Structure 1
Amino acid sequence: MELYYDEMESPVGPLTIISDSEHIVRIEYGLFNQMKAKMQKWSERYFNNPKFIHKPGIVDHVKTELQDYFKGKRRDFSFDFTFHGTPFQHKVWQALYDTILYGETKTYKDIADTIGNPKAVRAVGGAVNKNPFSIVVPCHRVIGANGKMVGYNGGLDKKEYLLAHEAK
């Protein structure tokens, strides 16, 4: 099995985009070489120890959509992606993608209610933290019950930037 990746610069730092050649399987903050061990561990769980190949061009369509997002020309994404995680994580990630519109925010409790498990607020937080599609699946739009910014896998500075960008 082979997974292909390329990187791009963005206003929130470098992004690595990973594809299985048919679907995007991950978008991560940082350069691939900085997260190679993390990606290897993650991929062993879902792809039977794949080989990562740097293949510029394979994700150009994704890079274009992300660039348009940062230029304020795009609010939604149209490329194919697929989730790799637990059934619970899939449910949470799909709820983020389907229910939090551009420029909106919701709480972890809102997401727990959306998936029909109102007592799973902490578990929702754990799933949000493992979101494999930074920016596209809008975990940056999830805030604490008190309305404050809490935790973000990419760092609160990135979360603040993305929310301010979408508020424009």
Structure 2
Amino acid sequence: MSEEIEDSYKKLHEKITKFKDEDIYLWYGNSAMETCGMLHVLSMLEEKIENVCTINVSDITYNTGKRNDYTPRVVGELTPERLGEFIGINQSMDFSRYSSLMSLWKQLKREKSNLRIYEDKEVKSVQEDYYDEMILRYTYKKFMYSARTVGEVIGKVESYVSDSIIFGK
């Protein structure tokens, strides 16, 4: 599995180095996974930052003020029909913002954490057992399919967490 991941990163890096003067839009949401992904890609675009814009899908909340207000946590929580609404909120990259984001990226890499969460508007490194208590809270004594427990945890956690984290893959 790690060879597949390493191969994917190499292919991504090759594609990024071929960019010339294209405009580049990095889409992400308020989740550790997408923020770290955006930071990683941004670190590879160092010489092309004047062409980079970021779009945070968590910057728009739907049904504001209603009982069912909803803020997307990751890009995948949007329907394709809604993507056009976000083009107007893109943020251009400048050197100051780039430097700040790269400082954050260097700090996260130094921590070498296996698990990060998005909390209080920032990415934080946490211990690998961070979700254990919550998983146990939704694990009932009678038989239940593991997918049900995972679904309960994903549904209750405020920041986005993938099922692979809960399953412990």
User: What band does the TM-score fall into relative to the shorter chain?
Assistant: 0.3 to 0.5
Q: Which has the larger radius of gyration?
A: 2
User: Of Structure 1 and Structure 2, which has the larger fraction of its residues in helix?
Assistant: 2
TM-score (structure 1 length as normaliser): 0.33
